[in-house]
A and B are shown apart, each in its own frame.
Chain A
Amino acid sequence: MRYKLAGVLAAASLLLSGGLASAQTVMRIGLNDDPDSIDPALSQAFVTRIVLTTFCDKLFDIDAKLGFVPRLAESYEWSEDGKALTFKLRPNVVFHDGEPLNAEAVKYNIQRNQTIEGTFRKPELAPIKSVDVVDELTVRLNLDAPSAPLVSIFADRAGMMVSPKAAEALGVNFGSAPVCAGPFKFVSRVPQGRIIFEKFKDYWDVDNIHIDRVEMLAVNDPTVRLSNLQSGQFDLIERLSPTDVKQVEADANLKLARAPDIGYGYVQFNVGNGARAEKMKDQRVREAIDLSIDREALVNVAFEGLYAGGDQVIAPGSFYHDERPVQKRDVERAKQLLKEAGQENFTFEMMVRPDRDFQVPAQVMQSMLAESGINMVINTTENVTQLEAARQGNFESYMSFWSGRVDPDGNTFAFYTCKSANNRMGYCNPKVEELLTKARQTIDPEARKAIYKEALDLKYHDRPDLSLWYRQLFMAMSSKVENYHLFPDGLIRLQGVKIN
């Protein structure tokens, strides 16, 4: 009898658990590539930002117009002299391990991001000299000089707070079992396989979370990724290829989300980096190249007309974007410039990655330049080789893509100041450097915008590089997914999202 009862109970519990399991709402997301370490301090890849967003809340977030909205921090305040930034934290927030999120935890995170072995956050946090815990929920960052981009830094990976207790215990292996204060908590990860999260019941904004479980899987090929969405294996896929947009729009079972991206495709010239800088030194030659390009035609051919042709490093949509028309093509003027420079049969080499999104625009550019009498030789080079050649100055020009930063400093300072990390061009204009440094230290947005315009107008005249297109972001999802909003940073925010 006792066995029978046990059997009935077991069967009932099985049924119940089966019933519960089927009631679970699962969001399955197809990623473009496999993330690196899912540790905010040690991650570098864009895709990892998507994964981190699922379970690591930031102090601030951005909205659709690139403004800042409070998350773990309720507000920020600059001191009069701009040398101190104070955050007020949201009360009653806990990490997935139950530890409190307080000023001490924020201080720990900033120091961890600055010092942990292999950190990629160190350069971003360089302006911070010390951190004061003012009270349980107030933390003050002390700086040597004002640093306007700092708030935006805390709306990205440096603002993702990890549990100090878990971080201490795991060290550089924190990414193997990360603990944050986001809407979902980490369950498991198989490298190159699935990453699984489940809803965090004590999340501070839990009423806004309508999904119980999130599964992510990288599928590298965009066509295969889309097939997976069509077959119902995924509910949402990121970075849909522009060539697949029409197919998604025609499918009644699918929906499309689009947003202008803050990233842009560009060509950099070697104007002062090592032995191969001589070729592209003449500004007239670079201007002739610029004038030979029809950006609108380029995006029409290379990206189905879905991206926007552009010549700025701050994409439209940003407050700091300069509302001026895009550079028009002028082949006659280009020829004249080449003649003046004594370079009527100009030949140069461009390193281009093998990916379709670089090869096709490069080929379009090549044929456009040919009409001005410029012979552009495409040298197909894989990513790491290109990075190495660029660092060593072993190039004449190369085509690449910058994912863009919310704050204009991230798209300018590291590229156009004389000795900075991303300046592979060897470009050095002291006036530009002075202005970009000033913009960095100017807190008032209007004043800052004017400084950026002045600096970038000089840069656009010098043309050490050329922006060519602004990307559009596309995400495709099942028509069952509701309330998903795509922001210009391309991340997947699941707050408010429902699956019917």
Chain B
Amino acid sequence: MTLGGFMLRRLASIIPTLIFVSIIVFSLQQLIPGDPAIAMAGDELNDEAVQEIRVKYGFDQPFYVQYFKWIGNVVVGDFGASYRNKMEVLDLILTKLPVTLQLAVFSMIVALIIGIPTGIIAATHKDSFIGTAANLFALTGVSIPHFWLGIMLILLFSVNLGLLPSSGYVPPWEDLRQNLLSLIMPSIVLGTGVAGVITRHTRGAMLQVLSSDYVRTARAKGVAERIVVSKHALRNALIPVITLSTIEFGQLLSGAILTEQIFSIPGFGKLIVDAVFFREYAVVQGVVMVTATLFILLNFVADILYFVVNPRMRSANG
């Protein structure tokens, strides 16, 4: 099978997936208790005013009518508007996307820089103290609550040492230095969590590859261990790690809810939490649709990468 054919087949499967996602997103919203009209009206408006809101936003209509109306608008790029701050949902998403994207990329870099070497060490020293320490490190990364780590970092680096800004986000085009400084701690908090997962998978994949026949052959031929690990084993072991990393990256894109709350970073996470609390259906649906689409596209990219790095895929699919 050619790469082009493979891409077409994958693309064709994306559309039904997106339709399915849109239905799920829309249904889940209906299941959340609490009437959005009441959330909008708050404490002070009377029941007639609530009913007016319900009619105006179409909450009184049957589920399928609301769904088709919404999806019809989404197709032409109209995600509706936030009733709280009156902004168009698409504008909100476009404002937040670069922030979330930058945080996700930085966190992923932290995760990969820590995760892959630690995973390799854990695999190559599996029976020694160093291997156990690497494993422990991975486990700690996964287990430490983001909230706690975030506050501890703020206390250390902002309150005590005064080295890093403790909150907020400055766009890179306004002040690049401040932008980078403001993302160091959030990226570490998010990155260490993902690093733990990557370490464990790298270790598993490396162990499997290191015990395979071709590695034994390489060793038998007298290839230096360093070369065996870095050239022969790592390349193959990285295939599942690439897949995992794209999935993890996709999850980072859906918003790092707690981390964004702690560091007051105006990304998807903070947006979606506020939207759920205020029953801003349009915002929640818009953000989830966009992140789901990004997630699916990332998987598509991962599939292509997989196809490129793994020649067996071509024959298997052919």
| Cα separation A387 to B47 with both chains bound (whole Å) | 12
Residue pair B42, A176 in contact (C-beta under 8 Å): no
Decide if B35 touches A175 in the complex (CB within 8 Å).
no
Dominant secondary structure at the A interface: loop
Cβ of B277 < 8 Å from any Cβ of A? yes
Q: Are A221's CB and B95's CB within 8 A?
A: no
Q: Is the CB of A120 within 8 A of B45?
A: yes
Q: A190-B95, A385-B33 are in contact. Are A44 and B42 (CB under 8 A)?
A: yes
Interface segment, one of B118-126, B159-167, B231-239, B298-306: B159-167
Q: How near does chain B come to A180, taking the closest CB pair, in angstroms?
A: 17
Per the bound structure, the CA–CA distance linking A385 and B278 in Å amounts to: 11
In the complex, chain B residues whose CB is within 8 Å of the CB of A228: 154, 158, 166-167
Q: Report whether A384 and B38 are in contact in the complex, using a CB–CB cutoff of 8 Å.
A: yes
- Pick out which of these stretches binds chain B: A138-146, A303-311, A414-422, A487-495: A414-422
Q: Which of these, B262, B265, B277, contacts A224 with CB under 8 Å?
A: B262
Chain A neighbourhood of B162, CB < 8 A? 231-232
Answer whether A230 and B44 are a contact pair too, CB < 8 Å, given A36-B85, A191-B271, A224-B167. no
Least CB distance, A421 to chain B, in whole angstroms: 4
* B168 interfacial contact with A, CB 8 Å: yes
A148 within 8 A of B: no
Quick one: closest B residue to A402, CB to CB? B43
Interface residues on B, range: 35 or more
Inter-chain contact A227/B154, CB cutoff 8 Å: yes
Cβ-closest chain B residue relative to A386 = B34
B44 touches A421 (CB 8 A): yes
Q: Mark A15-59, 1 if CB is under 8 A from B, else 0.
A: 000000000000000100011111100101000000000000000
Q: Are A420 and B166 in contact (CB under 8 A)?
A: no
B97-123 near A? 1/0 per residue, CB < 8 Å: 000000000000000000000000000
A120 to chain B, nearest CB (A): 7
**A36 touching B38 by the CB < 8 A rule?**
no
Binary per-residue interface labels of chain A (383-425) against chain B in the complex, 1 for a CB within 8 Å, 0 otherwise: 1110110010000000000000000000000100000111000
Known A35-B85, A191-B92; further 17 A-B contacts with Cβ < 8 A: A30-B167, A36-B84, A37-B85, A123-B44, A172-B86, A173-B86, A192-B274, A193-B266, A194-B168, A219-B167, A224-B154, A227-B155, A227-B166, A230-B158, A230-B159, A384-B277, A421-B44
Give the interface of B toward A (CB within 8 A).
33-35, 38-39, 42-47, 50, 82-87, 92, 95-96, 150-151, 154-155, 158-159, 162, 165-169, 261-262, 264-266, 270-271, 274, 277-279
Going nearest first, the 4 A-B pairs with the smallest beta carbon separation are A193-B266, A384-B34, A231-B158, A421-B46
